[in-house]
Structures are given as structure tokens and as C-alpha cells.
């Protein structure tokens, strides 16, 4: 792989790692492991941990995919590998 290819791939992996990190935190930390602690905070009538597991995580997933799509498009253009 040439240098441009290597740089493109590491930029891609960098983007994927932080998106996966958010995905992990929202699902497994906020929604599951620390849900009991978060439940002492309330969002309207929702205990927060419960809200993450049954509502919030899903909204975050949608946001993550569209952020990924946008930033991946930017990376494609920066390294000039986008589709014509």
C-alpha cells in the first residue's frame, strides 16, 4: 500500500475507534453497568439509567451513523479516494 493509502486507512480507523468508544459508553456503561447509579438522576419522569437503556442509546446510535457518514465522506475527499 502506498503512503496515501496507509494514511487514509489510519484516518478511517481513527474515526471508527472514537465512534465505537461512544457506542460502547452509551450502551454498556450508561445503559447497563452504571445504570443503577444513573437512576438517581431524573430526566422528566425517566430515571436516567433506564432512559439510556430504553430510549437514549437508540437516539445516540442514529446520530453516530450520520456523523460517521459525514466525517467518512470528508476523509474520502481529503485523500482523494471518493466516488466520482
Partner 1 sequence: MDLQTTIYLFVGGTFALYIGIAIWARAGSTSEFYAAGGSVPPVMNGMATAADWMSAASFISMAGLIANMGYGGGLFLMGWTGGYVLLAMLLAPYLRKFGKFTVPQFIGDRFYSKSASTVAVICLLTASLTYIIGQMTGVGVAFSRFLGVSSDTGIYVGMAIVFAYAVFGGMKGITYTQVAQYIVLICAYIVPAIFISLQLTGMPIPQLGLGSNMVGTDVSLLSRLDQVIVDLGFGKYTTTTAGSTLNMFVYTMSLMIGTAGLPHVIMRFFTVPTVAAARSSAGWALIFIALLYTTAPAVAAMAKYNLHATVNTGINANADLYATESSLKAEDRPDWMKRWEKTGLLKWEDKNGDGRIQYYNDKTKSEAVLGKAEAAGWKGNELTVNADIIVLANPEIALLPNWVIALVAAGGLAAALSTAAGLLMAISAAISHDLVKNVFVPNISEKNELLTGKFAMAGAIIVAGYLGLNPPGFAAGTVALAFGIAASSLFPAIMMGIFSKKMNKEGAMAGMLSGLFITLFYVFAHKGIFFIKGTEFVDLIGGPNSFFGITPEAFGAVGALLNFIVAFVVDKVTKEPPVHIQAMVEAVRVPRGSKAVTGAH
CB of 3 to partner 1, least distance (A): 13
Q: Which three cell numbers stand for residue 23?
A: 457506542
Burial status of residue 31 (CB atoms within 10 A of its CB: 0-12, 13-18, 19 or more) = buried
Strand segments, DSSP code E, in 1-84 are: 42-43, 46-47
For position 45 contacting partner 1 by CB under 8 A, the verdict is yes
Interface positions with partner 1 (CB under 8 A): 1, 5, 8-9, 12, 16, 19-20, 23, 27-28, 31-33, 35-36, 39, 43-47, 49-51, 53-55, 57-59, 61-62, 64-66, 68-69, 72-73, 76, 81-84
Amino acid at each position: 500500500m502506498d503512503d496515501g493509502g496507509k494514511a487514509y486507512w489510519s484516518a478511517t480507523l481513527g474515526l471508527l475507534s472514537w465512534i465505537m468508544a461512544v457506542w460502547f459508553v452509551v450502551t454498556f456503561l450508561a445503559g447497563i453497568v452504571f445504570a443503577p447509579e444513573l437512576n438517581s438522576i431524573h430526566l422528566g419522569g425517566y430515571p436516567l439509567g433506564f432512559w439510556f437503556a430504553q430510549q437514549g442509546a437508540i437516539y445516540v446510535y442514529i446520530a453516530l451513523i450520520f456523523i460517521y457518514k459525514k466525517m467518512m465522506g470528508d476523509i474520502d475527499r481529503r485523500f482523494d479516494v471518493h466516488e466520482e
